[in-house]
Amino acid sequence: MEQSTLVVGSLDALRDVLAHGDHGLTLVNADVVVVPTAAAFIGAAKAAVLTADAFNGVDARVEALMVTDRASNAQDYFVERLTNADVVVLCDGSPLHARLVWRNSPVGDAINAARSLVAVGAVATVLGDVMVDPRGGAPMVGLGYRSGAAVCAPASDDQMTRTRSLLAADVALVVVGPSGVVRRDDDGWRVVSARDVVVTRGTETVTL
């Protein structure tokens, strides 16, 4: 099964790419589900509403699935909706909380299997085999949902230098700022909007 993954640095970037960009999503009478797990600490309901609003003007039906903790990540309804959805959208927020909730769970497996996945902001950090710990920039084990790159949000110069020094030299680190958009399909990762996107291997700036 072909899979398409879109990483956007913010909801503004999502709105822009939905309106004008190369998003690779099937959005004709689309069934879209929004997963606000990462936003549990900052207001999952509000995050879900704001994320759903980004699809205004798109031919889609949008439903939020309130998967916010380990107790909710095995509910049959949530798993069924994720499995059957045309597009799964992961809200911005704490990647560490998302990793805790989704790891080794039916909901996590369904997210991994999604045909079209959209990750907004820092939550994209959890998708790769390697993720960057936002607390200090050290590499750690990600969920392994999408291989080929480690994605992270921008941090201080000192933290980014530390991250690059600790990553293996063959790992592509994709730093996606608020205006950035990158996409992964069966042919690998590529940059959709180069604004706010920096790709490095070790200390060298490279292209995807």
Per-residue pLDDT, 27: 86
- The DSSP line for the chain is ---EEEEESSHHHHHHHHHHS------SSEEEEEE-GGGTTT-HHHHHHHHHHTTTTSSEEEEE----SGGGTT-HHHHHHHHH-SEEEEPSS-HHHHHHHHTTSHHHHHHHT-SEEEEEGGGGGGSSSEEE-TTT--EEE---SS-S-EEE----HHHHHHHHHHS-TTPEEEEE-TT-EEEEETTEEEEEE-TTEEEEETTEE---
120 or 57, which is more confident: 120
Evaluate if residue 1 carries a pLDDT over 90.
no
Provide the residue range defining the domain that includes 25: 4-205
The CATH code of the domain that includes 122 is: 3.40.50.880
**φ, ψ at 25 (rounded to 5°):** -95, 145
Those residues whose C-beta lies under 8 Å from the C-beta of residue 128, and which sit 6 or more positions away, are: 142, 143, 144, 145, 146, 147, 148, 149, 150, 151
Per-residue pLDDT, 56: 92
The sheet carrying 60-64 orders its strands as: 60-64, 30-35, 87-90, 116-120, 4-8, 181-185, 188-193
What percentage of the chain reaches a pLDDT higher than 90? 86
Query: How many structural domains compose the chain?
Result: 1
pLDDT, tens digit, for every residue of 117-165? 999 999 999 999 999 999 999 999 999 999 999 999 999 999 999 999 9
Structure-derived torsion over alpha carbons of residues 115, 121, 124, 130, reported in degrees to the nearest 10: 160
* Burial (CB count within 10 angstroms: exposed 0-12, middle 13-18, buried 19+), residue 23: buried
pLDDT, tens digit, for every residue of 27-54? 889 999 999 999 988 899 999 999 999 9
